[in-house]
């Protein structure tokens, strides 16, 4: 697995790269946003670790550009943010980041986040199931989503969340459970992450606007669609 590390702090970038290589993966470091985007467009990348504050282009701008390009739209993105930058974290999620890690962070925690993201993706790839809801069809093996015959591009975490909701339709699911099962670890970053991803699913798949029912102060439930 090849991972792009977009981080302008040399010491942090080298530390991340060292731990990624210890985990058995290869890593490439980009010190500027425009450099990172050029690398993504010209080289195969499996996961992007993206700092918010980058010269050239900010991490948020890179994230937006990656999601806007159909060739890279589904690439997993983990954003690095300063612990006090709540606005940047939410903005990153709204632009399509799958996860974020707040600085200062434990390198082992970051590796765990990468492993969790990849593990969930591989679970989907290793099954041939088709899931349907109304006009929505999800092919878990091909990692594709179609609505009324048109393909809809989802990010890695959006796809995982949709799959989980479809597999547990009719059940009331707490935000904490969604964080634990979809994000695949005990999450401490707050439940806003779930709300942002649900909102993005509703925006991309209009059928879900009414199908995903918000259970006040608890979580969500996916209802059947005729």
Which of 93, 121, 149 lies at the terminal end of a domain, its last residue? 121
Q: Which residues contact 214 (CB under 8 A, 6 or more apart)?
A: 220
pLDDT band at 44 (very low <50, low <70, confident <90, very high): very high
**Distance (Å, whole) CA 92 – CA 80:** 10
Position 123 scores a pLDDT of 61
Say which range, 90-99, 161-170, 178-187, has the weakest mean pLDDT.
178-187
- 7 and 117 in a single domain? The answer is yes
- 39 and 80 in a single domain? The answer is yes
- 35 and 114 in a single domain? The answer is yes
Mean pLDDT computed over 173-183: 87
Inter-residue contact 48 to 78 (CB < 8 Å): yes
- 108 and 165 in a single domain? The answer is no
Say which range, 44-48, 117-121, 138-142, 148-152, has the weakest mean pLDDT.
117-121
- 19 and 45 in a single domain? The answer is yes
Phi-psi label, residue 137: left if phi above 0, alpha if psi -120 to 50, beta otherwise: beta
- 52 and 140 in a single domain? The answer is no
- 178 and 94 in a single domain? The answer is no
* Residue 87 confidence (pLDDT) above 80: no
Which of 101, 121, 141 lies at the terminal end of a domain, its last residue? 121
Q: Which residue has the higher pLDDT, 91 or 53?
A: 53
- 173 and 71 in a single domain? The answer is no
- 16 and 117 in a single domain? The answer is yes
Which of 68, 90, 121 lies at the terminal end of a domain, its last residue? 121
Q: Which residues contact 14 (CB under 8 A, 6 or more apart)?
A: 29
Query: Which residue range(s) make up the domain with 203?
Result: 128-222
- 214 and 145 in a single domain? The answer is yes
**Distance (Å, whole) CA 202 – CA 89:** 20
**This model's pTM is above 0.75:** no
- Residue 212 three-state SS: strand
* Residue 12 confidence (pLDDT) above 90: yes
Q: Which residues contact 86 (CB under 8 A, 6 or more apart)?
A: none
- 98 and 193 in a single domain? The answer is no
Please state the domain count of the chain. Answer: 2
- Domain at 188, CATH number: 1.10.10.10
- 113 and 11 in a single domain? The answer is yes
């Amino acid at each position: 697995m090849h991972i792009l590390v977009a981080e302008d702090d040399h010491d942090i970038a080298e530390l991340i790269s060292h731990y990624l290589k210890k985990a058995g993966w290869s890593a490439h470091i980009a010190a500027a946003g425009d450099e990172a985007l050029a690398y993504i467009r010209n080289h195969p990348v499996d996961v992007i670790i993206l700092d918010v504050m980058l010269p050239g282009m900010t991490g948020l701008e890179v994230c937006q550009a990656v999601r806007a390009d159909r060739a890279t739209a589904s690439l997993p993105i983990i954003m690095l943010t300063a612990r006090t930058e709540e606005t940047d974290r939410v903005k990153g999620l709204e632009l399509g980041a799958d996860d974020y890690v707040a600085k200062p962070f434990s390198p082992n925690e970051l590796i765990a986040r990468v492993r969790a993201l990849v593990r969930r993706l591989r679970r989907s790839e290793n099954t041939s199931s088709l899931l349907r809801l109304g006009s929505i069809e999800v092919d878990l093996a091909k990692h594709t989503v179609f609505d009324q015959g048109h393909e809809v591009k989802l990010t890695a975490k959006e796809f995982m969340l949709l799959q989980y909701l479809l597999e547990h339709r009719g059940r009331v699911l707490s935000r904490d459970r969604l964080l634990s099962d979809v994000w695949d670890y005990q999450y401490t970053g707050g439940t806003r992450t779930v709300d942002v991803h649900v909102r993005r699913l509703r925006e991309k798949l209009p059928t879900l606007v009414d199908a995903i029912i918000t259970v006040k102060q608890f979580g969500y439930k996916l209802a059947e669609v005729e």
